[in-house]
Structure 1
Amino acid sequence: MGKQSSRPFLMTRNLHPEVQESPIHFLKKNIISNEFFYIRNHFPYPNIHQGNFEVTIEGNVMYPYHFHLAQLRQLPSVTIDLVLECAGNKRSKFSPKVHGEQWEDGAIHQGSWRGVPLKDLLAITGIGQGAKEVLFTGHDMGEKGKSPHASFSRSLPIEKALHPDTIIAYECNGKEIPYKHGAPIRLIVPGWYAMASVKWLKSIAVINHRFDGPFQTDDYVYYPHQNSKEDSFPVTKINVNSTIQKPLNYSKLKRGENLVRGIAWSGNGPISKIEISYDNGVTWEKAIKEKNGVTSFYAWESWTYLWNIDKPGEYVILSKATDSTGSQPLEPFWNQKGYGYNAVHRTHVKVE
Structure 2
Amino acid sequence: MNPNDPFIKIKPYLTTHSLFPENQEAPIHFLENSETPTGLTYRRNHFPFPALSTKSYYLTITGSVKNPISIPYNQIITMPSRTVTSVLECSGNKRAHFEPKVFGEQWNDGAISQGTWKGVPLFYLLQIAGIQDSAREVVFEGNDSGVKKGQHVHFARSLPLKKAMEHDCIVAWEHNHKPISSKHGFPFRLIVPGWYGMASVKWLKTIRVVDHPFTGPFQTDDYVYYPHKNNNEEAVPVTVSHVNSIIQQPRDRQILQSGQHEIKGLAWTGEGVVTFVEVSLDDSETWKPANLHGQPLQYQWIMWSYSFLFEKNREYSIKVRAYDSNGHFQPEIAFWNWKGYGYNAVSQIKIKIE
**TM-score scaled to structure 1, two decimals?**
0.96
Match of 1:12 among 10, 16, 20: 16
Match of 2:75 among 33, 55, 71: 71
How many angstroms apart in 2 are the aligned matches of 1:108 and 1:268? 16
Superposition map of 1:242-261 within 5 A? 242-261=245-264
How many angstroms apart in 2 are the aligned matches of 1:225 and 1:278? 34
Report the CA distance between 1:49 and its aligned residue. 2.0
In the alignment, does 2:320 pair up with 1:319? Answer: yes
Superposition map of 1:110-129 within 5 A? 110-129=114-133
Q: In structure 2, give the amino acid aligned to 1:163.
A: E
Unaligned runs of 5+ in 2: 1-6
How many angstroms apart in 2 are the aligned matches of 1:275 and 1:327? 11
Secondary structure, aligned partner of 2:272? coil
How many angstroms apart in 1 are the aligned matches of 2:70 and 2:134? 23
How many angstroms apart in 1 are the aligned matches of 2:172 and 2:296? 20
- 2:158 corresponds in structure 1 to 155
How many angstroms apart in 2 are the aligned matches of 1:244 and 1:79? 29
Secondary structure, aligned partner of 1:327? coil
Match of 1:174 among 177, 180, 190: 177
Match of 1:82 among 72, 75, 86: 86
Secondary structure, aligned partner of 1:58? strand
Q: In structure 2, give the amino acid aligned to 1:302.
A: M
Superposition map of 1:259-298 within 5 A? 259-291=262-294, 296-298=297-299
1:261-295 deviation line (CA, Å, top 9, x unaligned): 0000000210010000011111111111112xx76
Unaligned runs of 5+ in 1: none
Report the CA distance between 1:213 and its aligned residue. 0.5
Identity %, equivalent residues: 49
Report the CA distance between 1:296 and its aligned residue. 3.7
Contact 2:257–2:312 (Cα < 8 Å) also in 1: no
How many angstroms apart in 1 are the aligned matches of 2:257 and 2:316? 13
Contact 1:115–1:171 (Cα < 8 Å) also in 2: yes
- Shifted more, 244-253 versus 42-51: the winner is 42-51
In the alignment, does 2:227 pair up with 1:224? Answer: yes
Report the CA distance between 1:52 and its aligned residue. 2.4
Contact 1:30–1:302 (Cα < 8 Å) also in 2: no
- Shifted more, 224-233 versus 298-307: the winner is 224-233
In the alignment, does 2:64 pair up with 1:60? Answer: yes
Q: In structure 2, give the amino acid aligned to 1:315.
A: Y
Match of 1:185 among 188, 202, 222: 188
Report the CA distance between 1:128 and its aligned residue. 0.4
How many angstroms apart in 1 are the aligned matches of 2:38 and 2:218? 26
Backbone CA RMSD of aligned residues? 1.2
1:295-348 deviation line (CA, Å, top 9, x unaligned): 641001111111122253111100100012321000111100000000010111
Contact 2:273–2:296 (Cα < 8 Å) also in 1: no
Query: Number of residues paired by the alignment?
Result: 347
Contact 1:268–1:325 (Cα < 8 Å) also in 2: no
